[in-house]
Chain A
Amino acid sequence: MAEALLALIPAPALIGFALLLGWPAPLSARMEGRLGAAAAGGSAALALGLAAWLFATGSEAIRVEVAPFVVTGGLEAMLALRFDALSAVASGTVGVVGVLVVLYAAEFMPREGETRLRRLFALLSLFLAGMFAVVLADDLVALFLGWEIVGLCSYFLIGWRSREAAAADAARQAFVVTRIGDALLLAGIAALFARFGTTSLPELFGAVEGAWRGGATLAAGAIGALVLAGALAKSAQVPFHVWLPDAMAGPTPVSALLHAATMVAAGAFLLARLAPLTEAAPGIGAATAWLGLAGALGAGLAALAQRDVKRLLAWSTVSQIGFMFLALGAGAPGAAMAHFVTHAAFKAALFLAAGLVSREAGHERRLDRLGGARRRGPLGFWVFAAAALALGGAPWVTAGFWSKELVLAGALGAGPLGPALWAGAVAASAVTAAYAGRAALALARGGAPREGATDGPGAAEAAAVLVLAALALGLGPAAGPVAEAVGGAATPHLGAAAAGIGVAAPLAGFSAALLAEAGWAPRAPRLAAAARGGFGVDAIRGAVAGGFGRMVHAVSGDPLARGMHALAGGVPRLAATFASGAADGAGPRAPGGPEAWRRRGAERLARFARAPGDDLLDRLWRGVAAGAAGMGRMAGRAQGGRLRGYLAGSAIGAALLLLLGWAAA
């Protein structure tokens, strides 16, 4: 019975896709939305029912082999599905977020004046089916199938407004970057098959347990690295974080579903699913944890500097998934999955509420123009505020706090370097609270309601955001049981001091945001300066937004040189924006006092940093930039248009792959 239901979970989404794509007659816009919602809802109901059954009966995993998928000589890949605590948690989350987002989209998109919705809902249904295949798969080939469907749908959905050049570019960039990861993951799967002769997960774990536990081998590390690279690219983690902020060119519901709650979390899920494998491979855990921390901290700082609400949310997604990777690398997949669940709830709520807020402000996305959201549309504002509290991890009352505590505990328990990871994660959590607070406060700022902007939320939109907000606040007590059910290494109990710091970090972040927003100037000038700069965060933010943001551009070849130049010029520009930001933010204010002091200081800093100079260091720096530009031109030359050149490239690539296969086997 349960097995039959398990096999049926992706079916409604697939049927919805087929109907939306292939129904021979035109459908009304309402019908299209209903069909999409029914498809998502059917799958979600099945997944939730089965999860309830699993946890109620306390059964172990169930497995069903739907059909033989690829059968040739040595390879027998079954389309096998598995339902255990991990798949239950993940598929339940995907289902709930999926159905809410589709419901929201059914009302939101027509009101945005969008057409061609049939294609949108068809793609969303196919996307959900692929996502279910990823989280339910019990065979690497089946998992990869879902993984690719998700990637393909993501390409179509980011570029859904295909007439906008920015959307098409963003889609192409996302496709290319994730494709690099997909190719590496495929190589990892192939190497696993070459080594163990199976793609079935249970058999693979058994074989790995026997082969790798004894002594770490080079091949184990190489395979682990390939799998990790696949996960990093899908989850937009350092160094593949490039594509996610630009992917916000897609419509808001798409951003909420694909690039916040589900698809980018697929990489984290993959690592949780393959935890026995990546834990046995040497060095992979540490690499995952440190890359996750780099993402959590770097993207958090970048989010702090964003001016567009959707881009801010995108960076925050990179940062939050960094937390998940940190927990995964620290050997606490349970904590990672708990954060997966709460993140899905609050990030979807944030995106959907941001959609409402932005529409009510006349399609405005710049944070400094969104003030007064509370009076224009209280629902969107309050949901955004509640979800921002959850994102920042406001202690005790939000779900985000509980899952982040689990991640911190997992980081602390991660061997000798645990305390360092923990300290970094605490800093990242303070930064998270600072930017979450900043976004919510920017919306709360005064500002008269715009004329005639009474475009309030409809019933389905309101229901979707309210349910998500309730989940973002109320899921806290579920975080612990989820982590326990998914398992992994037992999370150590946090000592009172560590727990206290974990509570204090978000509070410090929120207060920093509050102080910065209020422009509050206490008598002690040094404290005032620190507080207005978000306790030093503002100062770092330029360096990071300069470096990290430009690194983003840098990865794609020619802009590398520009990025380097920009980085070199970043310091003076930072000082200048600092000064002008002070001028803008302060508004008409009496001269003198800390405000003027701060402005004078910043201007002096700007003059200092602009001071001309051409010493050895400058020349060295320009040399690096020029070298980078040269490399970009060289890379461009590779596309010479000549058949023989391409052929030589693929011949060399094939030879290298053969060598790699020979070395791995």
Chain B
Amino acid sequence: MSGAAFVTLIAASSGLFAIGLFGLLLRRTVILQLVSLELMLAAGGFAFVVAGARHGGAEGQGMFVLVLTVAAAEAAVALVLFVRLRALADSADSDAFDRLRG
């Protein structure tokens, strides 16, 4: 992989990450925030694969498989939490859960 292609792909992954981050910051619905979170994880995985390809190694892809697994577990936990929060506050707005303010 040429240097230019590498930089482009890493930039694309950074962009994807930034989109996810902004989604997480600006969306207030918990579900859409979760979607944004998945986007950020995918961006990280993408960067791993690109870096692995750059060095011709398989570690990057191996790492992505790990990220995928963790993401699946995380989604399961997050959805359970969402259901519980829904019951608690009767709202899907993450800003409604602000009882820990100082």
Contacts and interface: CB of A to CB of B under 8 A. Distances in A.
Interface string B12-37: 00000000010011101000000000
Interface stretch (A121-129, A498-506, A633-641): A633-641
Interface in A596-655: 636, 639-644, 647-648, 651
A636 B102 CA distance: 7
A641 B100 contact: yes
A647 B98 CA distance: 13
B21 A641 contact: no
A643 B100 CA distance: 10
A639 B102 CA distance: 5
A648 B94 CA distance: 14
A642 B95 contact: yes
A644 B95 CA distance: 8
Given A647-B24, A651-B21, A651-B25, A642 B94 contact: yes
Contacts of A651: 21, 25
A632 to B, nearest CB: 12
B97 A643 contact: yes
Given A651-B21, A651-B25, A644 B94 contact: yes
A643 B26 CA distance: 11
A639 B98 CA distance: 10
Nearest to B30: A643
Contacts of A648: 25
Nearest to B97: A643
B96 to A, nearest CB: 9
Nearest to A635: B102
Interface in B21-57: 21, 24-26, 28
Interface residues of A, number: 10
A641 B25 CA distance: 14
Nearest to A651: B21
Interface in B76-102: 94-95, 97-102
Contacts of B99: 641
Contact of A640 (B21, B24, B25, B98): B98
A647 B102 contact: no
B101 A641 contact: yes
A568 B31 CA distance: 53
Given A647-B24, A647-B25, A648-B25, A640 B101 contact: yes
A643 B101 contact: no
A640 B102 CA distance: 6
Nearest to A639: B102
Contacts of B97: 641, 643
A651 B26 CA distance: 13
A439 to B, nearest CB: 40
Contacts of A639: 101-102
A640 B101 CA distance: 5
A641 B102 contact: yes
Contacts of B94: 642-644
Nearest to B94: A643
Nearest to A638: B102
Contacts of A636: 102
Contacts of B25: 644, 647-648, 651
A652 to B, nearest CB: 10
A528 B100 CA distance: 59
A645 to B, nearest CB: 9
A639 B101 CA distance: 5
A665 to B, nearest CB: 17
A238 B21 CA distance: 39
A224 B3 CA distance: 35
Nearest to A636: B102
A636 B101 CA distance: 9
Nearest to B101: A641
Contacts of B101: 639-642
B53 to A, nearest CB: 17
Given A639-B102, A644-B28, 11 more contacts: A639-B101, A640-B101, A640-B102, A641-B97, A641-B99, A641-B102, A642-B94, A643-B97, A644-B25, A644-B26, A648-B25
25 contacts: A639-B101, A640-B98, A640-B101, A640-B102, A641-B97, A641-B98, A641-B99, A641-B100, A641-B101, A641-B102, A642-B94, A642-B95, A642-B98, A643-B94, A643-B95, A643-B97, A644-B24, A644-B25, A644-B26, A644-B28, A644-B94, A644-B95, A648-B25, A651-B21, A651-B25
Interface of B: 21, 24-26, 28, 94-95, 97-102
